Amino acid sequence: MIIICPKCSRKHKVSPDMVTPYIRSGKKLFATCKACKYRFPVLPHTLIDPEQNAGRPVSEPESRARKICVTLSKGGVGKTTTSVNLSCGLALTGYRVLLVDTDTQGQSAYMLGKKPAAGLTELLTGELNPDECILEARKNLWLLGGGKSLAGVKRIIDRKSFGAEWALSEALSNLDRQYDFIVMDTAPGWDQLIVNVLFYATEVLVPVALEVMPLHGLSEFLKSLGSIQKYRKEIELKYIVPTFLDTRIKGPQTLYSQLKRLYPDKLCAPVHYDENLAEAPSFGKSIFEFAPGSRASADYRELVRKVSMNDKAFL
Ligand SMILES: Nc1ncnc2c1ncn2[C@@H]1O[C@H](COP(=O)(O)OP(=O)(O)OP(=O)(O)O)[C@@H](O)[C@H]1O
Ligand SMILES: [Mg+2]
């Protein structure tokens, strides 16, 4: 087995006989990194079992995570629903996923049926280290929760006179070697925390609700993204995901065709309007757990395949 130091990302070989009994019994095991001398609790996400992971789609444990932010300034378009279900689907496929909730609403944890004691706030303020802030939400899926306390952090970031846009990147800097995907849910609107997300992520996924004026909201957002891209070339709009597609009425289909014409290379298959998606959160379940045979489950499975570029993902 390999233990990854959460501070310096150095990997250390350890005997499974030494580690497994502790993990199974739930007792705390601490390790000290030989390279940086950092002492940390050995948690499942700091451990890699090369044998168990031999068949998983990303074979290189040292590969860096793809950093995808799910964002659009307009509210209620399906950002959190998409972040949570995309993350769950990737995790079910076998990828190691960290879901980061950067919204003061803290809805990602609620949708997963979790109540994290700490989260992104404590990581950003440096109060706690990553292991104490990250919660294991499902197999292969870890959560760095958001919530009300992020409002205070935003004020701290705002007051920084230098490098304010890099605060999130600094806080997450040692985490990306431990995951295949880091998916970030964002709040509606436009603020310093979203700017921070766009300085950390490399890929942008935009959910566009096929309801009212989606194209206006999208073009406004693309202008703001353009202003970030002037300073940060690595960030790219990769996916536009139409949401709330209701095939019973004509309007959304017309909007979908318009999007297809305007963004042929970025447009993904739509997520249909499905009441299961509105109900699943109150049970703390992903769509795959709540209604695996539903239309929305098939739609999000398709999105998992598209994003992972793995046609066999999550069959
Ligand atoms: N395809 C869909 N069909 C039906 N209901 C949906 C669908 N997608 C999301 N919902 C529901 O619509 C509401 C808004 O979705 P969600 O919270 O994901 O949007 P959001 O963009 O994250 O909102 P906010 O901007 O407030 O963060 C939620 O109640 C969610 O359960
Ligand atoms: Mg949301």
Segment 85-107, tens digit of pLDDT? 999 999 999 999 999 999 999 99
Residue 109 has pLDDT above 90, yes or no: yes
Q: Judge contact between 286 and 88, C-beta under 8 A.
A: yes
Say whether both 206 and 287 belong to one domain: yes
Say whether both 76 and 108 belong to one domain: yes
Phi and psi of 138, rounded to 5°? -150, 175
- The answer as to whether 58 is a domain residue is no
Phi and psi of 148, rounded to 5°? -55, -40
Q: At 78, is the pLDDT very low, low, confident or very high (cuts 50, 70, 90)?
A: very high
Cβ 277 under 6 angstroms from ligand 1? yes
pLDDT value of position 268:
97
* Domain with 183 in it: 66-308
- The answer as to whether 60 is a domain residue is no
pTM of the model: 0.83
Segment 25-64, tens digit of pLDDT? 666 678 888 888 877 777 665 666 655 544 344 333 445 8
Which among 238, 161, 154, 159 is positioned nearest to 196, based on CA atoms? 154
Ligand 1 pocket, mutate which of 103, 184, 277, 290 (most atoms under 8 A from CB): 277
112 CA distance to ligand 2 centroid (A)? 13
For residue 243, the ligand 1 atom closest to its alpha carbon is 1
pLDDT value of position 247:
86
Q: What is the mean pLDDT of the chain?
A: 89
Cβ-in-10-Å burial (0-12, 13-18, 19+) of 34 comes to exposed
**Taking residues 293-307, what's their average pLDDT?**
97
For residue 74, the ligand 1 atom closest to its alpha carbon is 25
Residue with CA at minimum distance from ligand 1 atom 3? 273
Say whether both 169 and 210 belong to one domain: yes
Say whether both 297 and 258 belong to one domain: yes
Say whether both 83 and 115 belong to one domain: yes
Say whether both 48 and 82 belong to one domain: no
Say whether both 291 and 145 belong to one domain: yes
Which among 78, 82, 58, 138 is positioned nearest to 308, based on CA atoms? 58
pLDDT value of position 300:
98
- The answer as to whether 313 is a domain residue is no
Say whether both 190 and 296 belong to one domain: yes
Q: Take residue 302 and report the two structure tokens written for it.
A: 């398709």
76 CA distance to ligand 1 centroid (A)? 5
Q: For residue 244, give the CATH number of its domain.
A: 3.40.50.300
Report the 10 Å Cβ neighbour count for 197: 25
Pairing of strands 141-144, 134-138: antiparallel
Q: Which residue has the tokens 């990737």?
A: 90
208 CA distance to ligand 2 centroid (A)? 13
Edge to edge, the sheet with strand 134-138 lists 134-138, 141-144, 97-101, 181-185, 66-70, 203-209, 236-243
Helices (H) and strands (E) in the chain, counts: 13, 12
Residue-wise DSSP of 99-117: EEE--TT-HHHHHTT---S
Task: Find the angle CA(218)-CA(224)-CA(225) to the nearest 5 degrees.
Answer: 85
- The answer as to whether 300 is a domain residue is yes
Give me the number of domains the chain comprises: 2
Please tell me the number of the ligand nearest to residue 282's CA.
Answer: 1
